[in-house]
Amino acid sequence: MSLYDEFASALLTPDQPCPEGLVSRNGADPASRFAVYRNNVHSSLINAMATAYPVTLQLVGEAFFRAMAGLFVQACPPTSPLISEYGSAFPAFIQDFEPAASVPYLADIARLERLRVRAYHAADTQALDPQKILQGLQSQANLGNLRLQLHPSVATLSSAYAVVALWAAHQSDGALATLNPWHAQAALVLRQGLEVRVFAIDSGSVTFINSLAHGSPLEKAVEHALEATAEFDLHHCLTLLVSHNAITHLYPDQKVSP
């Protein structure tokens, strides 16, 4: 193990001794200085998690959250210099964290909050003007082959729990009392300007949006959505996407020249 690897390992493992060979410029005990540095690193990472997962924290309380996040830090050290990317594996960690089993929807709430972080940091891409989208839809001769490119911030989440309602209830006071968390719900997450928005959508809309994101033409995306639910409302879903600047390009059918 290199000195770097030994230092990094000891930095993220509280019970590991100070690496050999460290010295202090002012003559202080290297072990005590290293302990302070290690504590600062741990605290910074846990604080970053608390910032990224505020509702997850509220659901279990700060003491439980910080203890759980501390174990996550030890199990999943940072792999990127971007602190905004840290904690992407936290929802999966929560899913397998037995002490959190009494809050079965906790992992999905964390997944929703992670999508919000990703949406906030997604690339800036100019949305198409709604009027141009309408004109494009009306003028396209082969509408079924039209491909819609979505904003990089757009993402969906399907859950067995009322994730959107649970998340929204923690944005205001007094909404939790009448909430039924056992109602399955799906979410659409996107960024409009600088604001990240969360919407409750049906399973057909999830399938439709995911199909568009994977490059399916409009006709195929609608077919997939109707297979998910016969009640899929194309007009409602497109209106939601257009009105919140979620469509960035329209690509008509490109015919191959002979």
pLDDT digit string (tens) for 136-155? Answer: 888 777 888 999 999 999 99
* Phi-psi map region of 21: left, alpha, beta (phi>0 left; psi -120 to 50 alpha): left
Model confidence pLDDT, tens digit, residues 5-33: 777 777 777 778 877 777 777 767 777 77
Asked, for residue 174, whether it belongs to a domain, the answer is yes
- Please give the pLDDT value at position 255: 46
In this structure, the answer to whether residues 133 and 256 fall within a common structural domain is: yes
Give domain status of residue 111, yes or no. no
* 94 and 135 share one domain: no
- Span 247-251, average pLDDT: 94
| Total domains in the fold of the chain | 2
- CA 42-48-53 angle, to 5 degrees, is 125
Shared domain for 197 and 242, answered yes or no, is yes
- Reported as a single tens digit per residue, the pLDDT across 153-211 is 999 999 999 999 999 999 876 566 678 899 999 999 999 999 999 999 999 999 999 99
Please, which residues have CB within 8 angstroms of residue 167's CB and are 6 or more apart in sequence? Answer: 55, 109, 112, 113, 187, 198
Contact yes or no for 115/157 (Cβ under 8 A): yes
Of 103, 136, 155, the residue at which a domain comes to its end is 103
Task: Assess whether pLDDT exceeds 60 at residue 254.
Answer: no
Mark whether 130 and 258 lie in a shared domain: yes
Q: Would you say residue 108 lies in a domain? A: no
Mark whether 64 and 139 lie in a shared domain. Answer: no
